[in-house]
Structure 1
Amino acid sequence: MIQIKNFGYLSALQLFTLFIPLITYPYLIRVIGKEIWGEIIFAQVIISYASLFINFGFDISATRDVSVNRDNPIELSKIVSSVFITKLFFGLISTVSIILLINFVPLFSYHKLLYLYTFIFCFGDIFFPIYFFLGIEKMKYITFINLFTKLLFLLFVFIFVKDKSDYILVPLFNGLGAAIGGIIAMFIAVKIYNIKILLISIATIKSRINTSVNYFITDLSIVLKDRINLLVIGSFIGFTEVAYYDLGTKIVHIAQTPFSIINRVLLPSFAKEFSRRKLFLSVWIFTTISFLMALLLIIFSDTIVPILGGRQMLPASNIIYIYAIVIPLACISSIYGIGLASQGISKNYMLSDIYSFIIYLIAVLSLYVFYDVNIYTLPIPIILSVIFTIFYKQIYLKKNKLL
């Protein structure tokens, strides 16, 4: 079954992507030092916002359009062209913004080259038509190209990064790998699937942006929610606690990986042929598996944490005990989101995450005012916000007779 194959491809890629930092982290910390490594991570966070802007929710909106029109070569060329040209335009805006940032803001001007090299990663976002391969359900190209570029990055880091002065090569290799992967992927789309890059009208570009804006806002709200907890911990609690929280949530995210890509695998299938029975079965099957995964993670967390971070990081296990429930909850929310997105109900898809973000902020503020903000209570606002999205999406699925 094609969905199972695609699920396997993307699971392998996502797991490899998550494990790469676990392989390079100890080496880079020893070679270039914690301070410079922190600067590299900070640069990646800043550039990630440019990456988010360039992608602008196309991985959902354009995936759906490609899936619906997969048998229409002319329409496929129009879709790819409109997304590519829009990404080029957003890439230009991002480039100008980064140049202004590193030249006029003192915080960023000290390591100009670091931010410029890190920004090269965004060229991969511009060229790589992930939405196209997702839409035609050929995830193997996404997997093999990304595995190749990430292995290349891994190899180059261990060969060429030998002392502190080589730190600038880390973002350079990472960015070049992403850019090369993007160009290869676009070449495959053009040569193998006969996609033509056409001149697109401004009206078509506006339409593409309008179609995707709700998904972009959703992605933005999710990214902001992920960043705030670490910001609160680092600002008001301490950086040791940041390390505990980061490791605990990272382990949960690794376990969550197979379920977090369900929407990418199932979205094209639901967009092409939707049925309430298929949605119902998907919820029960994947939720049951994800619940078992969360249970196993809790049972073995005291073994997993010392392997990855040493026994001094054991407090991260307590984070896992609390946060693991997010795995099945997020799974349900993700599949409900597929039901809305596949039928083009983007407004409610967006609003569910915006309201969820508001619920999260209210919960954090309530902890601060009425109880206690610490690394063990901060996962609770995230859990509450995910529960809210489940009920919100369920209401609109039923309202539209999709559930």
Structure 2
Amino acid sequence: MRNRINLLLRTIKNNKKVIENYFFMTLLLVLNSFFGLLIYPFIIRSLGKDTYGIFVFASTIVNYFIYFISFGFDLYGVRKISENPSNTAIKSVIVSKIFSTKIYLEIISVLVFSILLFLFPTFKKNIDIYIICFFMTLVNIFFPTWYFQGIQKMRVVSFIQLFFKILSLPFIFIYVKESSDLLFFTIIMISSSLLGSFVAFFYLIKIENLIIRVFHWKNVYDYVKESSYFFYTNIANMSKTETIKLIIGIKYGMGDLAIFDLAQKIISIPMILLSNINGALFPKIIQNFNIEYLKKILNFERLLGLFAIISVILLGKFAIRIFGGNSMELAYPLSIILSFTIFIFLQTGVYLYLILIPKGFDRSVLDNQIIAFISIMIFILLGINFFNSIFVLPICLVLSGIMEIIYLRYKIKKEKLLYNE
């Protein structure tokens, strides 16, 4: 017994940074998810599901631009910083080049977004909501979560997020009372995120002592080229879930989009506890790639995925009644279907972020997302053509994930990265 305790203590000591990084990365997701769930019953009853659906739809549109501006740097940046965690000069160059590139991408995004606003009547109807939501793109620039993940100081991000989310609560409860207050709600949500991003940027300069400057676009081309696979991967990955939201909003209405959003929030409860495991392990795997260690991680995460599915089945209906009320009960079967994506997410996360990326198989990561994107588009086209039901869309998402697992297992076996048989 004493030997087991000593082994456990040694394991904790040897993985102190990993455990700390995982804890604060998870805490960050807990804060975001819990905050959304905390205000959800109040917001859905104050604004109504159709009005709240407008906010979800606007956020979905803006997410395309956020992923474009990210350009895969969230993964690429973590890898670069993890390789140079103590060199301030090198870190300053890395952050400056990524910051500069995102500024240029932001300018392109503003131009494209402006054209969309004046071309499509859908955007003109609630143009003020779309414009305010678009300011979230600045958060991606000034709040480099990837940097803090790379230096394994995610506690800083968590504390900043916690402070500004708590600060926003009284404003939400005071100024959001009815459907006409959607503008106030949007301003409060975006402003709290923006303020947090500016504080994080200030922390980089004053506490981390980074010298951040803007490079000419010609001097950042190497970073754009090296991170291009991650960019294509992110775009393909994001397109799966965001396209589903767009289809629901356009084909089934903003009310059904709000119900789907609640289903996603329900599965986020187990997801927040599990999704950052691979992210926390990523810096350590980069420094020490161990096959036996990875096999244990893979088997452990399979059990966690199954546990997450069972949890949603047993507790999902109760959670939906609390947060959404009887009018949102359709979210329960949707959440059960979506819970299978947690299992898929954990498995593909090990294959991608702990095996292929550390070994430099960036092209395979892109190929996987291309397969996932093409497959989900085919499934959706076939599904909505034969079945006029919102359930078709999350089922397509799960089937696409299964296609990912099949491809990734094939690739890893072929390259003998994990399996030798």
The answer to whether TM tops 0.5 is yes
Task: Return closer, same or farther for 1:87/1:22 CA change in 2, 3 Å cut-off.
Answer: same
Over 3 Å counting, the alpha-carbon distance change for 1:71 and 1:400 in structure 2 is farther
Which of 266, 271, 277 is the matching residue for 1:251? 266
- Higher mean C-alpha displacement, 62-71 vs 268-277: 268-277
Q: Do residues 307 (structure 1) and 309 (structure 2) align?
A: no
Residue range with higher mean Cα deviation, 198-207 or 256-265: 198-207
Contact 1:87 1:126 in 2 (8 A): yes
Among 333, 337, 340, the alignment partner of 2:356 is 340
Query: In the superposition, relative to structure 1, how do residues 366 and 102 fare at CA in structure 2: closer, same or farther (>3 Å)?
Result: closer
Aligned mates of 2:77, 2:40 — CA distance in 1: 35
**TM-score by structure 2 length?**
0.86
Question: 1:323, 1:41 → 2: CA distance?
Answer: 18
For residue 351 of structure 1, what is the amino acid of its counterpart?
D
Does residue 9 in structure 1 map to residue 9 in structure 2?
Answer: no
Q: Does 1:176 align with 2:176?
A: no
Could you say which residue in structure 2 is the equivalent of 1:48? 63
Cα distance, 1:346 vs structure 2: 1.6
How far does residue 315 in structure 1 lie from its aligned partner after superposition?
3.9
1:363 equivalent in structure 2: 379
Given the alignment, which residue of 258, 262, 284 partners 1:269?
Answer: 284
User: CA RMSD for the aligned pairs?
Assistant: 2.6
Of residues 121-130 and 321-330 in structure 1, the stretch that sits farther from structure 2 once superposed is: 321-330
Q: CA deviation at 1:105?
A: 4.3
Deviation at 1:236, TM superposition (A): 5.2
Report deviation, 1:377: 4.1
Distance, in Å, in 2 between the alignment partners of 1:241 and 1:41 is 11
Query: 2:57 touches 2:249 (CA, 8 Å); kept in 1?
Result: no
In structure 2, the partner of 1:74 is 89
How far apart are 1:305 and its partner, in Å? 2.8
Distance (Å, rounded) in 1 between the aligned partners of 2:176 and 2:383: 44
State the shift of 1:237 in Å. Answer: 5.7
The alpha carbon displacement at 1:14 in A equals 0.9
Which segment drifts farther, 127-136 or 310-319? Answer: 310-319
Aligned counterparts of 1:398 and 1:34: Cα–Cα separation in 2: 47
Query: Does 2:114 match 1:96?
Result: no
Change (3 A) 1:71 1:273: farther
Judged with a 3 Å threshold, the aligned counterparts in structure 2 of structure 1 residues 107 and 185 are, in CA distance, closer, same or farther, namely same
Quick one: structure 1 residues 401 and 227, their matched pair in 2 at CA, closer, same or farther if it must change by over 3 Å?
A: same
Q: Which has the higher contact order (CA 8 A, sep 6+)?
A: 2
Distance 1:178 1:344, change over 3 A: farther
Residues 138-174 of structure 1: CA distance to partner in whole angstroms, max 9, x if unpaired?
A: 1111111112222222232223345555432322222
Letter in 1 for 2:304: I
Q: Kindly indicate whether the alpha-carbon contact (under 8 Å) linking 1:262 and 1:334 is maintained by their aligned counterparts in 2.
A: no
TM-score calculated relative to the size of structure 1? 0.89
Once residues 39 and 199 of structure 1 are traced to their aligned partners in structure 2, the CA distance between those partners, rounded to angstroms, is 36
Q: Identity of paired residues, percent?
A: 30
Aligned to 1:354: 370
Counterpart amino acid of residue 354 in structure 1: I
Offset of 1:50 from its aligned partner? 1.9
Matching residue of 1:27: 42
Q: CA deviation at 1:78?
A: 0.9
How has the CA–CA distance of structure 1 residues 62 and 337 changed in structure 2, closer, same or farther, with 3 Å as cutoff? same
Q: Which residue of 2 aligns with 1:157?
A: 172
User: For residues 45-93 of structure 1, what are the alpha-carbon distances to aligned partners after superposition, in whole Å with 9 as ceiling and x for unaligned?
Assistant: 2222222222111110111011011132221111001001111111222
8 Å contact from structure 1 (residues 262, 335) kept in 2: no
Matches of 1:278 and 1:109, distance apart in 2: 53
1:126 is displaced (CA, Å) by 1.2
2:298: which partner in 1? 283
Q: Which runs of 5+ in 1 are unaligned?
A: none
One-letter amino acid matched to 2:186: P
Please say if 1:108 is aligned against 2:138: no
* Higher mean C-alpha displacement, 228-237 vs 138-147: 228-237
Q: Quick one: structure 1 residues 47 and 231, their matched pair in 2 at CA, closer, same or farther if it must change by over 3 Å?
A: closer
**1:306 to 1:115, Cα distance in 2 relative to 1, 3 A:** closer
Q: Report if the CA contact (8 A) 2:37-2:265 is conserved.
A: no
Question: Are the counterparts in 1 of residues 60 and 242 from structure 2 also a CA contact under 8 Å?
Answer: no
Which residue identity lines up with residue 188 of structure 1 in the other structure?
Y
Q: Aligned AA for 1:289?
A: L
Does 1:84 pair with 2:84? no
Assess if the C-alpha contact under 8 Å between 2:53 and 2:254 holds in 1.
Answer: no
Alpha-carbon distance in structure 2 between the residues aligned to 1:239 and 1:103: 21
Assess if the C-alpha contact under 8 Å between 1:123 and 1:178 holds in 2.
Answer: no
> What corresponds to 1:378 in structure 2?
393
